[in-house]
Amino acid sequence: TPVIGVLALQGDVREHLIALAAADAVARPVRRPEELAEVDALVIPGGESTTMSKLAVLFGMLEPLRERLASGLPVYGTCAGMIMLADKLLDGREDQETLGGIDMIVRRNAFGRQNESFEAKVDFAGIEGGPVEGVFIRAPWVESVGASAEVLATYDGHTVAVRQGNVLATSFHPELTGDVRVHAYFVDMVRAGL
């Protein structure tokens, strides 16, 4: 059984721990480099990406995260987590660091403000059983992807799910729906690489 960490600096950590456990992984919070070293994969939750990036610097996690990503750690980021995985950011804060990992340009807050948050059905390539429920909360979208990244879902003409090798990102929050198919998809990715 894969051990999957949830980056627990900020954001909806608990919801991801529950969804991962429901998708048959062993899930645990990760705050420190020693904890990061012990997991087979990592989820970066939704939350607020500028705060998350500041805390990653404060906790000495930025370089360890970049190193493990570079050495092939499977990672799944939702919303703020997608922003963290972008090689390039639009509408980010000036001092905002991302980890990178997917050759994509992500536009922060692209779907509008908090009160323009919404839910929509999203067809997800590789996931059976009908569309998944997308919860979009001040969500980013993917403006463009490089040749090695694969678009898995779009909504209203905008890319909202991307995979590049072992790294997966969604604009929306499957951890808030009780439907664990996207988490199960990620757990399968992790198992395939173990």
How far is Cα 181 from Cα 23, in angstroms, rounded to an integer?
8
Contact call for residues 170 and 79 (beta carbons, < 8 A): yes
Q: How far is the CB of 83 from ligand GLN (least distance, A)?
A: 5
Rg of the chain (C-alpha set) = 15
192 Cβ contact list (under 8 Å, min separation 6): none
Contact 169, 76 (CB under 8 A): yes
Tell me the residue type at 188. Answer: D
Active-site residue (options: 15, 16, 173, 183): 173
Roughly how many angstroms between the first and final C-alpha of the chain, as a whole number? 10
Q: Name the one range near ligand GLN by CB under 6 A: 36-44, 79-87, 153-161, 179-187.
A: 79-87
Output the smallest distance, CB 186 to ligand GLN, in A: 17
Binder among 33, 40, 109, 193 for ligand GLN (CB under 6 A): 109
Q: State yes or no: residue 48 binds ligand GLN (CB under 6 A).
A: yes
Least separation in angstroms between CB 53 and ligand GLN: 9
The window from 30-38, 44-52, 62-70, 185-193 that contacts ligand GLN (CB under 6 A) reads: 44-52
Active site residue 94: no
Whole-number Cα distances in Å, 3 to 11, 27, 43, 127, 187: 20, 6, 11, 22, 10
Query: Residue 101, interface with ligand GLN (CB under 6 A)?
Result: no
Q: Which residue lies nearer to ligand GLN by CB, 68 or 107? A: 107
Instruction: Confirm whether residue 47 is marked as ligand binding.
Output: yes
- Asked about 173 being catalytic, the answer comes back as yes
Residue 187 is encoded by which pair of tokens?
């757990």
Binding status of residue 47 toward ligand GLN by CB under 6 A:
yes
Q: Counting contacts by CB under 6 A, is residue 83 touching ligand GLN?
A: yes
Nearer to ligand GLN, 49 or 164 (CB): 49
In 111-179, where do the E strands start and end? 118-122, 132-136, 141-145, 150-155, 158-164, 167-170
Q: Which residues bind ligand GLN (CB under 6 A)?
A: 46-49, 79-80, 83, 108-109, 137-138
Q: Which residues are catalytic?
A: 79, 173, 175
